[in-house]
């Protein structure tokens, strides 16, 4: 397994957002996390990429919420649950966050450069930039534009492009289609398929179940911080209760 999550539990104060959860992603897969709002999908991604641990650290200082994280997360054979968030990207694991969150006051090009922050070689960065521009051609024409002024679809492309700039082995994308027009959603899914074609493993959190089932090799269905079902889309659809209660199909 490229990514292995074992008995993970995440609590914010008394709320248990992730409850003794185990899951994994193999190299080359496209795995999806689906489930209702508040199931813990985003929290799981945030735990994997170190943001929960970071939040734990800063809330401890502010005497605010009490965040706890138990269990283990292993990436490419190395425990990463004790590594600070900013060092995780070095290991080839990148998180494209919910609501896109480009650096709004910076240009498209600066955003992409920020994504390649840890790359030492300038040539490597230029090469990545070419690849990203090839994948997302509209970004090239807008490279000098302030990213906050882009459309939602373009911002999503920028966010994914920024994540790709670090040359990840595993790309975690959180709800890329939310808030986009149907035609843009289709395009975003198409691009995610292309990214997988480039040999990048993808862990995708999505609400759009029908589109996800067509492309994902495996799916995890989350509810109340637990995995309640796992498998390829067609098999999950066979389960009547699951389909009606959790997938809304």
Min dist CB 168 to another protein, Å, is: 11
59 counts as binding another protein under rule CB under 8 A: yes
Nearer to another protein, 113 or 131 (CB): 113
Q: Which of 41, 162, 167, 196 binds another protein (CB under 8 A)?
A: 162
Nearest partner of 78 among 92, 57, 94, 97, judged by Cα: 92
49 counts as binding another protein under rule CB under 8 A: yes
> Are 71 and 55 contacting, i.e. CB atoms less than 8 angstroms apart?
no
Q: Which of 14, 37, 61, 238 binds another protein (CB under 8 A)?
A: 61
15 counts as binding another protein under rule CB under 8 A: no
Q: Which of 166, 177, 201, 219 binds another protein (CB under 8 A)?
A: 166
Give the separation between CA 211 and CA 8, rounded to whole angstroms: 28
Nearer to another protein, 114 or 186 (CB): 114
85 counts as binding another protein under rule CB under 8 A: yes
φ/ψ of residue 203, rounded to 5:
-115, 115
Q: Which of 35, 40, 115, 168 binds another protein (CB under 8 A)?
A: 115
63 CB-contact burial (10 Å; exposed 0-12 / middle 13-18 / buried 19+): exposed
Using CB under 8 A as the criterion, which residues of the chain lie in contact with another protein when the complex forms?
Answer: 49-51, 54, 58-59, 61-64, 84-87, 89-90, 94-95, 97, 99, 101, 103-106, 110, 113-115, 117-118, 148, 162, 166
């Amino acid at each position: 397994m490229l990514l292995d999550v074992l008995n993970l539990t995440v609590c914010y104060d008394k709320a248990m957002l992730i409850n003794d959860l185990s899951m994994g992603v193999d190299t080359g897969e496209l795995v999806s996390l689906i489930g209702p709002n508040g199931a813990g999908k985003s929290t799981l991604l945030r735990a994997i990429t170190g943001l929960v641990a970071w939040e734990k650290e800063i809330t401890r200082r502010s005497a605010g919420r009490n965040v706890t994280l138990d269990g283990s997360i292993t990436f490419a054979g190395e425990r990463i649950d004790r590594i600070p968030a900013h060092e995780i990207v070095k290991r080839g694991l990148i998180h494209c966050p919910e609501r896109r969150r480009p650096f709004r006051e910076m240009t498209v090009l600066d955003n992409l450069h920020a994504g390649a922050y840890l790359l030492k070689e300038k040539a490597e960065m230029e090469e990545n930039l070419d690849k990203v521009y090839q994948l997302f051609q509209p970004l090239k024409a807008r490279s000098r534009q302030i990213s906050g002024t882009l459309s939602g679809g373009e911002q999503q492309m920028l966010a994914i492009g920024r994540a790709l700039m670090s040359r990840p082995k595993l790309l975690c994308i959180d709800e890329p289609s939310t808030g986009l027009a149907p035609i843009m959603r289709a395009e975003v899914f198409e691009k995610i398929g292309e990214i997988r074609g480039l040999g990048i493993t993808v862990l995708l959190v999505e609400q759009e179940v029908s589109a996800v089932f067509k492309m994902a090799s495996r799916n995890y269905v989350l509810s109340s911080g637990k995995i309640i079902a796992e498998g390829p889309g067609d098999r999950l659809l066979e389960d009547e209760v699951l389909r009606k209660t959790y997938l809304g199909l």
